[in-house]
Chain A
């Protein structure tokens, strides 16, 4: 158990809909990262938040957005869903201080199926 929690575990929805994925980082970790894993693309970085502020963006679509709240949990919002958005979505967290505390610990993931 990494200490990172994600809900829900599974999500089935229809095209055009909007969903919200939730992540709670490990206690004391300030950084939260979101990744998407599909069969053909592997693990792809979407976005990072550090202590409530957006820090880095990867290959995140404009239909997707995220935020990190004062209690440090994060939500990933996916809207106007398409079939191709079906994937595993992982959240990771790290302490993100100086002195090489950058190991990212991953949650169990949310499996999204868009029908």
Chain B
């Protein structure tokens, strides 16, 4: 059975304190690994798609990387406005729907 697991469940950082969020996946044939940001009560906002091991993508303070078993979302010098829940999701060869992890709730304090 396809499984996507995110850790930690919650993370509290001081402004400027860099860290990484983990997304490990056990799926049959990864077609793409997606990262989304979700603010409370809002829809997930697309951040990145990664397709193959070794691929990296960057956007402002965020950098996503992919290996054969997991993906990391690195947050460099975060600001309070980076506070949100970060979701990763796998798209596999066995279907068309995204298989989501439960998310990491990030709080960045001034």
- A residues engaging B (CB < 8 A)? 2, 4, 31, 33, 42-45, 48, 55-56, 58, 88, 90, 92, 96, 100, 102-109, 111
> Beta-carbon contacts of B66-110 to A below 8 Å, as 1s and 0s?
000000000000000000000101010001111111110000000
In residues 16-53 of chain B, which contact A (Cβ within 8 Å)? 31-32, 34, 36, 41-46, 49, 51
Closest A residue to B102 by CB, please name it: A42
Q: Are B43 and A109 interface neighbours, CB within 8 A? A: yes
Most buried by B among A2, A31, A44, A102: A102
- B residues engaging A (CB < 8 A)? 31-32, 34, 36, 41-46, 49, 51, 87, 89, 91, 95-103
Contacts of A108 in B (CB 8 A): 42-43
Q: Are A102 and B91 interface neighbours, CB within 8 A? A: yes
* Given A42-B103, A100-B32, CB of A105 within 8 Å of CB of B46: yes
| 5 A-B interface contacts by CB (under 8 A) | A2-B43, A90-B44, A103-B34, A105-B46, A106-B36
Given contacts A104-B98, A108-B43, 19 further A-B contacts (CB under 8 A): A2-B43, A2-B46, A31-B96, A42-B100, A42-B101, A44-B100, A45-B98, A55-B96, A56-B95, A88-B41, A90-B44, A92-B98, A102-B32, A103-B34, A104-B34, A105-B46, A106-B43, A109-B41, A109-B43
* Given A42-B100, A43-B87, A58-B97, CB of A106 within 8 Å of CB of B45: yes
Contact of B96 among A42, A48, A90 (CB under 8 A): A48
